[in-house]
Structure formats: C-alpha cells, structure tokens
Chains A and B, each alone.
Chain A
Amino acid sequence: MTGERFISFDGVSKHFGSTTVLDDLSFDIRAGERVTLIGPSGSGKTTILRMLMTLTRPDSGTITVDGVPLFHERRGDALVPAGEAHLRRMRRHTTMVFQQYNLFPNMRVLRNVTEAPVHVLGLSRDEAEGRGRELLELVGLGDKVDAYPSQLSGGQQQRVAIARALAMRPDVLLLDEVTSALDPELAAEVLDVLRDVARTFDVTMLCVTHAMRFARDVSDRVLMFNEGRIIESAPPEQLFDAPEQVRTKEFLRSVIDET
C-alpha cells in the first residue's frame, strides 16, 4: 500500500512574530501512507497541513511533493518563489478538510460536492453529480443532497466536507482536527466515515487529531510534535504503548485523562 517518498519537508522553519512554530523541520511521507500528527496545541501540526495546502508559506526550507518543490519554480536556471499557476498545478495533488467544515453556505449539499469537479477538474455536470451522489451515499448523506449546509448538524456538515474533498480525487488528504468542533457522538460518526475512507481509498492521509483511538486504528505512523519539532516518530502501537520520550508520555497521559 505504501510506496516511495511522496512528501518531503527539508529544514522547514516558520515563525509568527517572535514565536517559532516550526523549527528546522525535516521528515518524509511515503505515497499511500497514513500519518497522524499529535502533540500539544501550538506545536506546529496544523501549520504543516496548511503549508501542504499552500495556505501558509514557510520562512525557510523546502517542501517537495512528488519530487517537485511546492513553493519554488524553475525560471531559467534559477529557483524563484512560486506563482499562482505553479501553486494551482501543485494543488491538484492535495485537498484538505477543516476543523470548522467550511462548506459553502450559498450552495446546496450536492453543489458543494460537484462545483470544484466541474470547474476545476472539468467534469460534466452529470458526471460530477453521479459521483457526488455516490460519495454522499458513502458518507451516509444520500438523502441530504438538496439541503443547505445551514440545515445540517455539525457532524453532517463535516461528512459533506469529506465527500467534497474526496470528489477532487486527491493523492493527499489533509485532515485538520476534523472532529474537534463536534460533540463526542457526532465526532464518532465522522470518525467512522473516515475509517471507511481509509479502507476504501488509496490516498495518502495526514491527520491532525486528538482522537487517539482513531489514530491507532488508521495510521501507519504517528508523529509526536513538540515546540515545532518532531520528537518521536513510530507506528501507533509502539508510540502509544511504549513511548520513548518523557514528553510523549506526559502528553498521552493528559489526552487520555481528558477523554
């Protein structure tokens, strides 16, 4: 299932004012790998996802996706900061599901899921709707195609957002605390959907979450972040059951106590 190196961070740093969010960070993700990013808030996990989605640029260092620099393009012999055209080419690989769902309130559910496939992927309306209905069926919302997002529960909205992301046929799916805004019951239904997705789709997944059981179930590897660095990287059984770092132990204890 997992293949060659697909995403690389090489010496990536990011500061917001005097705060260091990412500190000279380097790591690789293989194609098809499911990776969960854990760690205290402010440790840089979400920033990783936002960079891969081109929503935040690093201050220094290089990120490559499928061997191509994400934020740099070749012009003549020089590497220059990437323009919108390059970013759009790179974004074909990747899509993201957000903590607050961010569905488009001006579109009904089906159009939320079909709009980008039609306008960005160039699918016909019929084709996009056929696929959209399938995906909504998959997330358990086949009967909600004509609803507006404001008429759905948070859990339902998040499942639509997952369908919307999958409709882009991404190589990489970024999940940014997708259940953090939901109460436990609704979070569980979203996590069930994501377990299905992990089983059914051959997609690289990067997942920032505090849902540790889910992380254990779906991930191939867990990265523990602290103060902008990865302090531990291991398969979930190992990282959860026998963490090496004291900081990881502390963090896991606080998360388990909380839930």
Chain B
Amino acid sequence: MSTGLWLLLFDGLLVTLQLTVFGAALGLVFAFAAGLARLSGRRVVRGIAFAYTEGFRGLPALVVLFWLVFALPALGLQLEPLFAGVLALALNIGAYGAEVVRGAVLSVPAAQLEAAVALNFTPWQRMRLVVLPQALVAMVPPMGNLLVELLKATALVSLVYLQDLTFQGQIVRAATGETAAVFAGLLVGYGVIALALTRLVRLVERRAAAGLGRTPAREVTR
C-alpha cells in the first residue's frame, strides 16, 4: 500500500477523533442542560427538555445527520460539514446523556438535601456543593458507555461524505481491492480507540471515587 493511502487513513482517523472529542464535549453540554432542566421547578423548562430528550432519543442519528447536511441547506442554512456532523452526534448522545444526568442527580439521597437545607444553603448551593459532586461520580460509568457509543456512531458521517476513518477506508478499499484487509484494519482502528476511551473512563472513575474517600472496589471473581 502506498504512503498516500496510509496518509488518507491517518487523515480519516483524525476526523473520527475530532468528531468523537467535539461531539462528546458538545453532547455533555446538551446532557447537562437538558438533564438539569428536566428537574427544574418550572413547567415550561421541564417541557422543553422533555421534548428534546424524547425527540432525539427516538430519532435515528443518521436521519438527524441527513437533516443537518442535506435538508437545512435546502432551506437556506448551510453548516460547515464537520460542525454539522459534530452537532448531529451531540444532539443524539446528549439526549441519552440527559437521562444519565437526571438519574444521577435523583440518585443522591434526599437526606443529603435535607442536611443542606439544615445548613441553610440556597437551592443553587445545594445543587452545586452537595448534589452535583456526588451525582458526577454516579455519572461516570454510564457516560463512559455513551462515549463508546458516540465513537461508533461517528462512522455514520461517512454516509454524508465526511472523510472519517470509515470513509477513507472505503476509498482505500476501492483503490486496492483489499476488502478483507481494509475492513480488518478498521476493526482494529476503532477497537484501539474504544479501548483507549474505556481506559480513560476507568481513570476518571477512580479519581471520582477518591473524591468521596473511597478506594474503588476490586473486581470480585465469582
């Protein structure tokens, strides 16, 4: 295989990594905004967040992607392709993440809130100083799952001609005819990134547990 084709794959890898990193960052913003909004005292705020989470959890990410890349330009709004990809992925993963945020916040025992009331914290202080730091710890493992889901979903962008790892793999396959080898390479490529992400999440998990004075439980063999 020529150096040019290797470079193509490397470019694709970079695009995939960008989609994953930016998609995760923006997705986290959506997840926190919607997840906390679903717990708001205001009905309208709750309603909007509910519509977003239920809406985007029900829509295939691919359809959202088609909308952002093909339908919006037809309506006169042209997004930069990479940004459109990031946005579509973030909207999708953010809707799932919102449920994680909501669940984690609700998992903090009511007694913690009562203690915070007894110390006369404001509602926002209760959230910021007591509830969120504890909820964050509970969020890490499910968020880690979503991160890997996000990585896998990035391959969808190849269908709207964004030149990610999958797209470039197809190019290389077409150029060389080495179907099995190229697809095996993709498997390994995504696998290695997923492994790295899982490792990263483990690390964060351990740091988070330490923030509660806990040493993470050793895995027990049964």
Q: Is the CB of B114 within 8 A of A116?
A: no
Q: Is the CB of B115 within 8 A of A168?
A: no
Q: Is the CB of B120 within 8 A of A98?
A: no
Contacts of A91 in B (CB 8 A): 117-118, 120
B175 at interface by CB-CB < 8 Å: no
From residue 88 to 113 of chain B, which have CB atoms closer than 8 A to chain A? 111-112
Name the residue on A nearest B132 (C-beta): A106
Name the residue on A nearest B129 (C-beta): A115
Contact string, A145-159, partner B, CB cutoff 8 A, digits 1/0?
Answer: 001111100000000
Contacts of A106 in B (CB 8 A): 130, 133-134, 137, 211-212
Q: Is the CB of A116 within 8 A of B121?
A: yes
Bound CA span A149–B115, Å: 14
Contacts of A108 in B (CB 8 A): 213
Name the residue on A nearest B128 (C-beta): A119
Bound CA span A168–B121, Å: 11
Contacts of A96 in B (CB 8 A): 118
Contacts of B129 in A (CB 8 A): 104, 115, 119
Known: A102-B111, A106-B133, A119-B129. A165 touches B118 (CB 8 A): yes
B122 at interface by CB-CB < 8 Å: yes
Bound CA span A164–B212, Å: 18
B123 at interface by CB-CB < 8 Å: yes
Q: Is the CB of A105 within 8 A of B134?
A: yes
Contacts of B130 in A (CB 8 A): 104, 106
A233 at interface by CB-CB < 8 Å: no
Report the number of A-B residue pairs with Cβ-Cβ less than 8 Å: 72
From residue 116 to 156 of chain B, which have CB atoms closer than 8 A to chain A? 116-123, 125, 129-130, 133-134, 137
Contacts of B222 in A (CB 8 A): none
Q: Is the CB of A53 within 8 A of B118?
A: yes
Closest CB in chain B relative to A164 CB, distance in Å: 7
Name the residue on A nearest B214 (C-beta): A150
Bound CA span A104–B120, Å: 14
Name the residue on B nearest A88 (C-beta): B120
Q: Is the CB of B114 within 8 A of A55?
A: yes
Contacts of A100 in B (CB 8 A): 111
Known: A104-B112, A119-B129. A150 touches B213 (CB 8 A): yes
Q: Most A CB atoms within 10 A — which of B118, B133, B211?
A: B118
Q: Is the CB of A95 within 8 A of B118?
A: yes
Closest CB in chain A relative to B126 CB, distance in Å: 10
Q: Is the CB of B213 within 8 A of A120?
A: no
Contacts of A84 in B (CB 8 A): 122-123
Known: A55-B114, A91-B117. A105 touches B212 (CB 8 A): yes
Chain B positions near chain A (C-beta within 8 angstroms): 111-112, 114-123, 125, 129-130, 133-134, 137, 211-214
Could you show 26 A-B contacts with beta carbons less than 8 Å apart? A53-B117, A55-B117, A55-B118, A88-B122, A91-B118, A95-B119, A95-B120, A96-B118, A98-B114, A102-B112, A102-B114, A104-B116, A104-B130, A105-B134, A105-B213, A106-B130, A106-B137, A106-B212, A115-B119, A120-B119, A147-B213, A148-B212, A148-B213, A149-B213, A150-B214, A174-B118
Given A104-B130, A115-B119, 17 extra CB contacts under 8 A: A53-B117, A54-B117, A55-B118, A84-B122, A91-B120, A104-B112, A104-B115, A104-B129, A105-B134, A106-B133, A106-B211, A106-B212, A116-B119, A119-B129, A120-B121, A149-B213, A168-B120
- By Cβ-Cβ distance, the 3 closest A-B pairs, closest first, are A148-B213, A102-B115, A116-B119
